[in-house]
């Protein structure tokens, strides 16, 4: 999962799968599923932002060799300490559908991106959500024990409620270097540029985040331990602005 530099949760970022091996023919149905389950402890001056929990996954519905159709979903729960030690105040959903084609080690495709943000244990009648469509470029480079995954999305809003978002550029990179048979050093980061319509008396918004840590691999999954820092756009869905914090956390990921 990429660092969450989005206004809401960022969809789980899983490694781009390689094209079908030479000699493989036909269409493969449900050939890949990756999951992510993580929890970050945030060091912030705002008591609403103490824990950031996420669960999600990405599945390839169909792989036809030269491309694939994929679906991703993520649920994010934000917890603070306003009313009790573990006080859930947000529940956010991200859904994505993508259709891509592979060419010379790079995937090019179109994406439908939906985010819906909700309050937990607090009243909210105002809908906060948006739909975007756009293009995606992603790829993976493997050199010995080093793996680098990159992804860039360019999207435009086609529906929105409450928010002033018009377009966005979301770029992410994630690297892994093996240091032992089942141990690797990891690092990742992301930048988000969000264009707005001016109705909230603000200009283009910028979010950025980065993290580093260690990955321990088991037989069927891996655990990642990390520390990071982030500047997030609109961390509370009924307010417009940015929030910054450092974090320490873990995530369980499919191999």
pLDDT digits (tens, 9 = 90+) for 174-196: 999 999 999 999 999 999 999 99
Residues 175/148, Cβ–Cβ less than 8 Å: yes
| Backbone phi and psi for residue 129, each to the nearest 5 degrees, phi listed first | -160, 165
pLDDT tens profile 85-95: 999 999 999 99
Query: Is the per-residue pLDDT at 25 higher than 80?
Result: no
CA distances from 196 to 74, 201, 239 (A): 24, 9, 14
Length of the chain: 255
**pLDDT of res. 24:** 52
Q: Distance between CA atoms of 250 and 29, rounded to whole angstroms?
A: 31
E-assigned strand segments in 144-204: 146-161, 165-180, 183-196
Spans of all domains in the chain: 28-254
**pLDDT of res. 26:** 78
Helix ranges (DSSP H) in the chain: none
Please give the model's pTM, rounded to 2 decimal places.
Answer: 0.90
Q: Distance between CA atoms of 109 and 191, rounded to whole angstroms?
A: 20
Residues 153/144, Cβ–Cβ less than 8 Å: no
∠ CA 71-75-78, rounded to 5°: 155
Residues 55/14, Cβ–Cβ less than 8 Å: no
pLDDT tens profile 228-254: 999 999 999 999 999 999 999 999 998
Residues 81/100, Cβ–Cβ less than 8 Å: no
CA distances from 144 to 114, 148, 221 (A): 37, 11, 21
Assign residue 145 a region (left: φ > 0; alpha: ψ between -120 and 50; beta: otherwise): alpha
Identify the H or E element spanning 71: strand 67-80
Query: Is the per-residue pLDDT at 22 higher than 50?
Result: no
**pLDDT of res. 18:** 47
Quick one: CATH architecture of 28-254? Beta Barrel (2.40)
The DSSP output letter for 15 is: P
**pLDDT of res. 31:** 95
Query: Is the per-residue pLDDT at 45 higher than 70?
Result: yes
**pLDDT of res. 203:** 97
Q: Distance between CA atoms of 232 and 241, rounded to whole angstroms?
A: 9
């Amino acid at each position: 999962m990429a660092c969450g530099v989005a206004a809401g949760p960022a969809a789980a970022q899983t490694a781009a799968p390689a094209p079908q091996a030479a000699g493989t023919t036909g269409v493969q149905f449900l050939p890949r599923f990756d999951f992510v389950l993580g929890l970050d402890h945030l060091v912030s001056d705002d008591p609403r932002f103490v824990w950031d929990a996420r669960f999600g996954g990405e599945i390839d519905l169909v792989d036809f060799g030269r491309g694939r159709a994929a679906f991703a979903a993520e649920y994010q729960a934000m917890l603070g300490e306003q009313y009790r030690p573990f006080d859930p105040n947000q529940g956010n959903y991200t859904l994505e559908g993508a259709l891509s084609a592979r060419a010379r080690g790079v995937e090019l495709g179109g994406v439908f991106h939906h985010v819906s943000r909700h309050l937990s244990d607090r009243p909210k009648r105002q809908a906060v959500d948006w739909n975007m469509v756009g293009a995606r470029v992603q790829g993976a480079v493997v050199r010995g024990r080093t793996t680098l995954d990159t992804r860039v999305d360019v999207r435009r809003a086609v529906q929105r409620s409450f928010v002033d978002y018009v377009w966005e550029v979301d770029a992410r990179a994630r690297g892994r270097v093996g240091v032992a048979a089942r141990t690797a050093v990891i690092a990742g980061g992301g930048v988000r540029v969000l264009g707005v319509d001016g109705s909230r008396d603000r200009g283009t918004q910028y979010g950025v985040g980065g993290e580093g840590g260690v990955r321990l691999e088991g037989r069927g999954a891996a655990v990642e331990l990390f520390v990071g820092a982030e500047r997030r756009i609109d961390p509370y869905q009924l307010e417009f602005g940015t929030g910054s914090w450092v974090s320490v956390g873990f995530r369980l990921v499919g191999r």
